[in-house]
Structure 1
Amino acid sequence: MRQYGYCRISTGKQNIERQVRNIQTAYPESIIVRETYTGTKFQGRKELEKLLEKVHPGDTIIFDSVSRMSRDSEEGFQLYEELFHKDVSLVFLKEPHINTETYRRAMTNQVALTGDKVDLILDGVNHYLMELAREQIRIAFEQAQKEVSDLHQRTREGIETARLNGKQIGHPRGATYETKKSKAAKEIILRHNRSFGGSLTDAETMRQAGISRKSFYKYKKELWDNME
């Protein structure tokens, strides 16, 4: 039975060590898995996928918060339920009320009943408890998804405010020269990349802008720095 701490950051400005510290404080024996993939869905998160392939019944995965597992409520709940039925324990430090162990205890602490219809009654109790679990878990994932949407909206509003105040977006202070290609690439990043409220992943943005990975992250950093 192993304990894994899964840590993920979704932007270059986040510090993954905060999550690592929180998990190791609560679970000092946990094996830390780091993920720096930028995105909002758990598909495509290579380190998480590798972890899901090697966990066994009785193992535990610890998250700093539910948003580190998934920010999409439907997919997040599907993964939660899948791991629950595989007997893999899930721990969320900031949302302990949806830890899998909470519902396992509720489903096993049943009143002893006798009679011909005991199995039917217990099935009904289990179904009711699982429905309560579903509701609470969905609420937690929906809140995480809402926080992402709100962040994207605040980013768009901040960009618009900067533009209205005459601040040049995409042109870092102190720069003496900017090519037409880099300017066009930054505009694509600003309009379409998920970090700035768009819908494209980093890889998709690179392809659309026709730039290398190195240039992409350089331009992205310059855009963030210019918005501060």
Structure 2
Amino acid sequence: MSKIYGYCRISTKNQSIERQIRNIKDLYPSAIILEESFTGTKIEGRKEFNKLLSKVKSGDTIVFDSVSRMSRNVEEGYKLYEELYNKGIELIFIKEPHINTTTYKQALTNNIELTGTSVDSILKGVNEYLLALAKEQIKLAFIQAEKEVKDLQQRTKEGIETARLNGKQIGLEKGTKLITKKSIAAKEQIQKYSKDFNGSLKDTEVMKLIGVARNSYYKYKKELIEELHNAQCRN
């Protein structure tokens, strides 16, 4: 029995994916929804989408809220489109219905019949034109999706430069330490195992034991010494 899948993707976990799910469910209530948060443009990094591609079969349908949810890379997107089409999988793009696989299929199958006369060369040219037009529409959709990514990157870059020129702080202020779960755990282990604190191991031995790179190790160790010194001064 054929299945309908709805693939939804957001770029960051702070975004809401509910709108995409709602748009798909409104049209295809029985759709099996797959959700994913991924920032890149390459398909190979999307675990849930790749799982879907590995199990989808001929007769199944994949629904996207828009073509950008399938791919924001022109070459990769168009190649995947043709691969899925050739496998007998239907693709539906809610916001770009003109590039649904049903439209592409019509361009392939609804050829103008040849007459066996001298006008056949003209009719053949018309058929080839219709197919080329369908392919071009699909490519244009992926080109637009890719352009949106580049435009966003450019706007972000320009915004950062404008902020910098206006004297605004970009990123952490000088002297500010970025505290993460990783740094906290590393410092606890350094304090526990290093002979300079409560342990008996050399720096190289501690690095190997806790799996921290040399530069990070000495950075954490320096910060730890400062933190312990400040704590003693407060007491």
TM-score, normalized by the shorter chain, greater than 0.5: yes
Counterpart of 1:178 (choices 161, 176, 179) is 176
Distance 1:47 1:58 in 2: 20
For residues 112-168 of structure 1, what are the alpha-carbon distances to aligned partners after superposition, in whole Å with 9 as ceiling and x for unaligned? 556599xx9998776544322221111110011011000000001111111122211
Distance 1:97 1:41 in 2: 24
For residues 41-66 of structure 1, what are the alpha-carbon distances to aligned partners after superposition, in whole Å with 9 as ceiling and x for unaligned? 11221111110111111111000111
Listed as ranges, the gaps of 5+ residues in structure 1 are 183-206, 211-228
- Residues 1:89 and 2:90 are matched in the alignment: yes
Contact 2:67 2:96 in 1 (8 A): yes
For residues 5-62 of structure 1, what are the alpha-carbon distances to aligned partners after superposition, in whole Å with 9 as ceiling and x for unaligned? 0011112342111111111111111000111122111122111111011111111100
Contact 2:64 2:94 in 1 (8 A): yes
Fraction of identical pairs, as percent: 62
What is the number of residues matched between the two proteins?
181
Shift of 1:110: 3.7
For residues 52-88 of structure 1, what are the alpha-carbon distances to aligned partners after superposition, in whole Å with 9 as ceiling and x for unaligned? 1111111110001111111000110000011111110
2:145 counterpart residue number: 144
1:19 counterpart residue number: 20
Contact 1:103 1:129 in 2 (8 A): no
Q: Which amino acid aligns with 2:102?
A: E
2:195 counterpart residue number: none
* SS in structure 2 at match of 1:43: helix
Q: What root-mean-square deviation, in Å, do the aligned CA atoms of Structure 1 and Structure 2 show? A: 3.1
TM-score, normalised on structure 1? Answer: 0.69
Distance 2:117 2:83 in 1: 32
Q: Which amino acid aligns with 1:102?
A: T
Q: Single out whichever of 129-138 and 21-30 deviates more from structure 2.
A: 129-138
Q: Single out whichever of 147-156 and 11-20 deviates more from structure 2.
A: 11-20
Change (3 A) 1:156 1:128: same
Bigger-Rg structure (1/2): 2
Q: Which amino acid aligns with 1:179?
A: K
TM-score, normalised on structure 2? Answer: 0.67
Contact 2:107 2:134 in 1 (8 A): no
1:33 counterpart residue number: 34
* SS in structure 1 at match of 2:106: helix
Change (3 A) 1:165 1:83: same
Listed as ranges, the gaps of 5+ residues in structure 2 are 181-212, 217-235
